[in-house]
Chain A
Amino acid sequence: MRLLILLLTSSLALAAFAQSGELSPSAPDGLRKGGTLGQDLPAPPIAGDPREVKREVRNYPEQPPVVPHAIRDYQVDKNFNRCLDCHSREAAVQAGAPMVSVTHFMDRHFQVRAEVTPGRYFCTQCHVPQTDAEPLVESDFKAVDEVIRASNKGDR
Chain B
Amino acid sequence: MKWLKLYWNLLRKPSVHYSLGFLTLSGFIAGIIFWGGFNTALEVTNTEQFCIGCHEMHSNPYQELKDTIHYTNRSGVRAECSDCHVPHGWTHKIGRKMEASKEVWGWVFGSINTPEKFEAKRRELAEREWARLKANDSLECRNCHEFDSMDFTMQDPRAAKAHSTALASSEQTCIDCHKGIAHKLPDMASVNR
Contacts and interface: CB of A to CB of B under 8 A. Distances in A.
Interface string B64-106: 0001110000000000000000000000000000000000000
Contacts of B158: 95-96
A72 B68 CA distance: 8
Contacts of A96: 157-158
Interface string A58-90: 000000000000001101011110100100000
Nearest to A51: B156
B180 A75 contact: yes
Name B's interface SS.
Answer: loop
A79 B185 contact: yes
A73 B67 contact: yes
Interface in B135-193: 157-158, 180-181, 184-188, 193
A80 B185 contact: yes
Contacts of A79: 122, 184-188
Interface residues of B, number: 14
Contact of A72 (B69, B122, B180, B187): B69
Looking at A77, A78, A79, which has the most chain B CB atoms within 10 Å of its CB? A79
Interface string B92-134: 0000000000000000000000000000001000000000000
A77 B181 CA distance: 15
A96 B122 CA distance: 31
A96 B67 CA distance: 28
A131 to B, nearest CB: 15
Given A80-B180, A85-B193, A96-B158, A75 B185 contact: yes
Contact of A80 (B68, B69, B181, B188): B188
B69 A73 contact: yes
Nearest to A97: B158
B179 to A, nearest CB: 9
A152 B184 CA distance: 53
A55 to B, nearest CB: 14
Nearest to A77: B184
B68 A73 contact: yes
A96 B181 CA distance: 22
Nearest to A91: B193
B67 A80 contact: no
- Closest 7 CB pairs between A and B? A80-B185, A80-B188, A79-B187, A73-B68, A79-B185, A79-B186, A75-B185
Given A80-B184, A80-B186, A96-B158, 8 more contacts: A75-B180, A75-B184, A77-B184, A79-B185, A79-B186, A79-B188, A80-B187, A95-B158
5 contacts: A73-B68, A80-B184, A80-B188, A85-B193, A95-B158
